[in-house]
Structure 1
């Protein structure tokens, strides 16, 4: 994302390790939409955010836990890690200028909560 603040632009640097690096929110969004288009149920949780303010800048750390099931909702991957963010206050509000994702856990999972072949509840989170 690029946002004006105090006479200059704020350019994002979004680093997700081996997954990729982007320089604006639109590019990251397009990648994530494409990467998840064929997936089944998706559950992303971002928790325990700790923010340290320093005038018009801040740093933040959040924990992330993502469950991404395949199209059949039977198996998939769980990824857990941390977001470390640098932020700046703009005329439009706070904006992330740098995000680094650190992967802590990546494991294959199987949906043991339902019989094999059942596509799951159509009202479950996507």
Structure 2
């Protein structure tokens, strides 16, 4: 039978573990938001810095490895906006994060929203991310981010360039 002190310590330990997981989820969510802002502002260097040195971004436009390689592959397609009237904004949706110590997996969806010609908003497309993350000395970073388009529909395995269709 557990003593009162041991029972109290067990409760405190369980609470600390739940608090640590909540803090980790918040940190990962903030990383998602920082990445969204970086891509929307075409700060591809900052986007790349959200990955480990061997981190992989793969999607329909190609595959990049490491912060520099990821910035380079995305830079081939993501040019600075001609004007605010032609830009898009990302919205991150349906985020699920599972943490296991110093590593995590996550899945989410994203939309690109752009101004329509009549001044209203238009959803350009809907996509999904499959992510793997790791805790580093600088905080949480991506080790893998697979990006693919859901609408308009394309078979996901053909979009995950260089990943073997994982």
Residue equivalent to 1:74: 117
Q: Residue 148 of structure 2 is aligned with which of 86, 91, 102?
A: 102
Larger helix proportion, structure 1 or 2?
A: 2
Please report the TM-score for the alignment, with normalisation by the length of structure 2.
0.49
Q: Residue 92 of structure 1 is aligned with which of 105, 120, 138?
A: 138
- Distance of 1:87 and 1:25 partners within structure 2: 14
Structure 1 contact 77–106 (Cα < 8 Å) conserved: no
| Structure 2, unaligned runs of 5 or more | 1-48, 154-166
Aligned residues: 97
User: 5 Å matches for 1:1-126?
Assistant: 1=49, 3=52, 10-16=53-59, 18-33=60-75, 35-37=77-79, 40-68=86-114, 74=117, 78-106=124-152
CA drift of 1:15 comes to 0.7
| Structure 1, unaligned runs of 5 or more | 4-9, 108-126
CA shift digits 1:40-64 (9 cap, x unpaired): 1212111221100111100001110
Higher relative contact order (CA 8 A, sep 6+): 1
For the pair shown, the structure with the greater C-alpha radius of gyration is: 2
Larger strand proportion, structure 1 or 2?
A: 1
